[in-house]
Amino acid sequence: MAVAHLVCRPLSCSKPLGNPNPAAPLLSSKPSLSFPTPSRCRSLALRVSSSAAPASVLAAEASFHHCFSKSADGYLYCEGVRVQDVMEGAERSPFYLYSKAQITRNFDAYREALEGLRSIVGYAIKANNNLKILEHLRGLGCGAVLVSGNELRLALRAGFDPTRCIFNGNGKIVEDLVLAAENGVFVNVDSEFDLENIVTAARVVGKKVPVLLRINPDVDPQVHPYVATGNKTSKFGIRNENLHWFLNAIKSYSNEIKLVGAHCHLGSTITKVDIFRDAAVLMVNYIDQIRAQGFELEYLNIGGGLGIDYYHTGTVLPAPMDLINTVRELVLSRDLTLIIEPGRSLIANTCCLVNRVTGVKTNGTKKFIVIDGSMAELIRPSLHGAYQHIELVSPSLPDAEVSTFDVVGPVCESADFLGKDRELPTPAKGAGLVVHDAGAYCMSMASTYNLKMRPPEYWVDNGSVVKIRHGETFEEFVKFFDGL
């Protein structure tokens, strides 16, 4: 087994950060609760099991900074707030817990990287559609990337500037395109029928729609095939050999649409920024060809897709600065405004799914930790075979045996697991257990399978724990059948 010694965010450990009033609940009907602020800081060491990580991502000794970290007292903290304390006052378990400050830090990394360029940071709402998170990102300066009419409606509800929003998708319907046209949203052209639908929407609204051509550059992002979007077998984008057909068609619809840019998207969890440069080189060549046909293109949209350190090994992965630096000179050389579409890299590492242990069992050959969370709340491990780091919230009992477990939920599917072959101390019944890096493609993909209601969400905001989404209830579910 490989073990990494990681240096975490400084935390105060002079005393546990417990409830200042043990007789009162930590979380009540009031919107927030203030926690004690750390009085002094020290660097802390955290041992992290990485037995399931491939050798290519292991780092024996590295610096690692995270909004969730374990203190010398053995408790897990989020920005100085003890997660165990949050559990004791939460509406129910499981629940999602975010760091608002980490969201800000992640956006600031993109803001710094883009200095000197005209740019739009379009947050991919599909990654996480919590309204309070969207309002925060909009306040920081984000635009929005949309893949449905309801995501557009939510972006407008959150106050996003529609002229800094981009509507993607390979199957956009006319009704949703009409809403985009009414609000002046950029729309990506994905196919021949998509172009026809955009023209129809423009005629309904009586407005000219700004469009970008989504070109499939056929660049292999070297990621899981389910999240690869820029190779020739993908359902997204137009084939580059059809470029001139589309340019002629767009010229014929000059009263309805205006071509303003080109777009590509390679995929998700990308860890090699050279892939972005390879795509950008192809894209600026296409832009040169399009401009030669008389079009005045301003925008290059290179999509999103940066990966994060899901294994918590401290592996050095590309940062926003690395990504932007690979394309900076190309963008400047063509006098373009750069659009990027981060989702995972803005939100994934800001959040944990917090669960309680229901019990521990064995089938004779394998041991299981059964928790109240499941594939219904967090489906990435089941759907993509994805690894997300798992650890206990509180110190284990002194005599707890360390064993290798599958961490599973109560859903009636053998696919219902959150992690396999994880080395952990045997937890007590009711102990807290977190699945890390759950901010992206987790709550937004949650379901009510087995009638598990979608969980509540909280974030830590300047020492206070604030509910940012109510948990769904059975009573709300049965209302869908009222009056039928």
The residues annotated as belonging to the active site are: 412
Residue with the two structure tokens 């199957």: 171
User: Which phi and psi angles does 351 have, rounded to 5°?
Assistant: -150, 150
Sheet strands (E) in 363-461: 367-371, 390-392, 402-408, 417-425, 432-435, 457-461
How many other β-carbons are positioned within 10 Å of the β-carbon of residue 156? 17
DSSP 266-326: -BSSB--THHHHHHHHHHHHHHHHHHHTT----EEE----B---TT-S------HHHHHHH
**CB contact at 8 A, 353 and 378:** yes
Spatial contact of 421 and 431, defined as CB atoms under 8 Å apart: no
Residue 190, both tokens: 């994905």
Q: Which tokens hold the place of 260?
A: 């303003």
Answer for the pair 421, 404: CB distance below 8 angstroms, yes or no: yes
Instruction: Extract the tokens encoding 154.
Output: 């939510």
Distance from C-alpha of 221 to C-alpha of 265, rounded to nearest angstrom: 10
* Neighbouring-strand partners of residue 407: 369, 419
**Stretch (H or E) spanning 120:** strand 119-124
List of residues 6+ apart from 386 with CB closer than 8 A:
224, 310, 380
Q: CA angle 315-318-323, nearest 5°?
A: 175
Element (H, E) at 33: strand 32-34
List, edge to edge, every strand of the sheet that includes 3-7.
45-49, 3-7, 61-63
C-alpha dihedral over 73, 357, 373, 380, to 10 degrees? 70
Check: CB of residue 124 under 8 Å from CB of residue 341.
Answer: yes
